[in-house]
Structure formats: structure tokens, C-alpha cells
Amino acid sequence: MGGVIALAFTGGMLVTLSRQLNGRLAMDSSALGSSFWNHLVGLAVLLAVALVAGGLWPQGTGDAPWFAWIGGALGVVFVAGGSWLIPRLGAAMTGGLLVAGQMLSGVVLDLLRDGGRNAALQAAGVALILAGVALSRRRQRKTAA
Amino acid sequence: MNAAPRPRLTEIAAALATGGLLTFMLLCNSAMAAATTPLFSSLAAHGVGTVVAAAALAAIWLMRGARAARPNGPRRTPLWAYLGGVSGALTVMVTSYTANSALALTGTLALGLAGQVVLALIFDMTGAMGVKRRLPTLTELGALGAILAGTALIILARGGA
């Protein structure tokens, strides 16, 4: 169990690492350019893994709904957005605000789809997130360390 | 060392909108993963993304003309800066493994969030990879804490769905 916990924690660290690398690349070129390289290099790695794992075109590919194919296009904007934000907000606030946007939209989508579960708990979560976002706009003087 | 400047409204709006996009991206990618495999879903997303980004870059290049195409910075870009995609591809493999372990999706999300924030704070405080070094302010830490607590509640409420 400890190994899996460490692995899940590492999964999160990889997200931050990727965003920092892409942000650095964008500082020398452009946010969209960094997104292009991110996708191209990732594609090369995944192609190699898929070839070793045995199969580039699994069964069921033809049955996937049309919108299953547009995740990559959204990903281009997502990576470019992160690269644009990193030098402006820093890694921690970039990550925090991206998660805030993801959670808020996720809750709205849930409400639209099936009414949502544990509504009170989710509402409290939304209130905390909105408070955090509002707080990030407050004037700040002292550093923590 | 400077404290982080106050984020502009446009930056906050951009971050929230970009994060919101992630919800729809994950919806699309999990539809593909459900029809095929998580590996193929990520492969397809990276393939489509490469084509879309290349087309967008080409369109910008054509509109601006070749002369102004490369806003070359004063420093040379190190090769390691191109490796963000490796880390991104690894993330897919790690999280699709842990989501199917005893941790399930809830544990994967919560621990992943912790890993993200811890490393991000370390990066900010050390100025890792040539991005400007910055100490988080108390206000910033408070904002992060509230966002993370709210996120934890929502992850818990959904039970990973």
C-alpha cells in the first residue's frame, strides 16, 4: 500500500514538473510552441510504449463517440494556458487556480448531468474554493518564510 | 527576494477558464479510455494535440509573416526544457495504474493534488528551471489552503465519480 501511495503522490509531482518544464520552454519561445513540443514528445514516448505493449489500434476504437477524439485539441489550450501562467503566477498559484477552475466546472457539470451527490458537502467545497480565489486577489505584504 | 506580485484579474480568469477546460478534456479522454484503453486514450489525445498545435502554429506563422515568426529569447533553450511531454506521458501511466489499485480514483486524486502542491511550492521557493524564484505570501498560502480544502471536500463528496 505504501508503494501505491508514493506512486499516486509522484503522479501529482509529475504534473507540476511537466508544467514547469513547459513554462520554461514558453519563456524562450511561446506558450503555444511549448504546447506543441509537449504533445509531440509525449506522443513519441506513448508510441514507443504502445509498440512494446503490443498494439497501436486497440479494439473498440471505431466505437468511441466523436467527442472522445477532441480531448487532444482541448489539451493544447490547457498546456498553453499553464505555460502562459507559470511565469506570471508561479507554480503554486498556477496549480491552485487551475484546480479551482477544474473543480468548479466539474461541480456545475455534475449538477447538470445527475443533480450531484452529497450536495451540502459539495456546496461547502465550492464556498471554500471561491473564498480561496477571492483571497488570492487580496493585496499581500509579508512573505511566509 | 521579492514576494509574489498580486495576480491580475485577467490571470485569475485565464487560470479558472483553463482549469475548467480540463473537466471537459478529461470527459473526452475518459470516453476514449472506456471505449479502448487508457494508453490509447492518451496516445490519441497526444496525436490529435500535436496536429492541432502544429496547425495553429502554422496559421500564426502565415498571418505574421516569416520575419516576425520567432520571438527568440536572449538565452539558449536547454534540451531538457523540451521534456515536459515525457513527464506528461508518465503521469497517464502512473495515474491509470493507481486509480485501479486499492487507492481508487479518490485516493489517486487526493494524493496527486498533494504531490502537485508540494513540488510546486518547492519549485517556487527555489526558482527551479529558470522560472523566477518567489516566496509564497501568507495571503497566497491562505488562498491555496482554502482551494485545496474545498477541493478535498468535493473529491470526498463525489467518492471519485
Last residue of a domain, one of B53, B70, B87: B70
- Cβ of A38 within 8 Å of Cβ of B101? The answer is no
Supply the pLDDT for residue B106: 84
Mean pLDDT of A106-117: 82
The reply to whether B55 and B99 lie within a common domain is no
Residue numbers of A between 16 and 35 with CB closer than 8 Å to B:
16-25, 27-30, 32-35
Looking at chain B, list the stretches that DSSP marks H as alpha helix, in order from N- to C-terminal side: 9-35, 38-64, 84-99, 104-126, 138-158
Supply the pLDDT for residue B64: 84
Q: Indicate the range of A23-27, B56-60, B87-91 predicted with least confidence.
A: B87-91
Q: What angle do CA A38, A40, A45 make, to 5 degrees?
A: 95
- Cβ of A15 within 8 Å of Cβ of B43? The answer is no
Distance CA B145, CA A135 (A): 10
Closest CA to A128 of B160, B156, B25, B105: B156
Supply the pLDDT for residue B1: 47
Chain B residues with beta carbon closer than 8 angstroms to that of A43: 43, 46-47, 49-50, 85
Domain range for B65: 1-70
Which whole-number Å values give the CA distances from B155 to A121, B34, B37, B141, B149, in the listed order?
A: 10, 21, 24, 21, 10
Contact assessment for residue B152 and residue A103, using Cβ atoms and an 8 Å cutoff: no
Q: What interface predicted TM-score (ipTM) does this complex get? A: 0.90
Instruction: State the best of B1, B26, B50 to mutate against chain A, taking most chain A CBs within 10 Å.
Output: B50
The reply to whether B95 and B122 lie within a common domain is yes
Banded model confidence at residue B3, pLDDT cuts 50, 70, 90: low
- Cβ of B18 within 8 Å of Cβ of A77? The answer is yes
Supply the pLDDT for residue B158: 84
Which whole-number Å values give the CA distances from B67 to A30, A61, B60, B61, in the listed order?
A: 16, 42, 12, 9
Last residue of a domain, one of B37, B70, B103: B70
The reply to whether B93 and B20 lie within a common domain is no
Helix or strand or coil: residue B3? strand
User: How many structural domains comprise chain B?
Assistant: 2
Q: Indicate the range of A112-126, B107-121, B126-140 predicted with least confidence.
A: A112-126
The C-alpha cell of A65 is what?
463517440
The reply to whether B88 and B161 lie within a common domain is yes
Selected residue with higher pLDDT from B74 and A111? A111
Supply the pLDDT for residue B68: 52
Supply the pLDDT for residue B79: 93
The reply to whether B60 and B86 lie within a common domain is no
Element containing residue A24 per DSSP (H, E): helix A2-28
The reply to whether B37 and B92 lie within a common domain is no
Contact assessment for residue A78 and residue B21, using Cβ atoms and an 8 Å cutoff: yes
Mean pLDDT of A78-84: 96
Task: Please state the domain extents for chain A.
Answer: 2-52+71-136
For the segment B70-105, what is each residue's pLDDT rounded down to a tens digit?
A: 555 556 789 999 999 999 899 888 888 888 788 888
Residue A141 has pLDDT above 90, yes or no: no
Last residue of a domain, one of B70, B95, B119: B70
The reply to whether B51 and B13 lie within a common domain is yes
The reply to whether B61 and B84 lie within a common domain is no
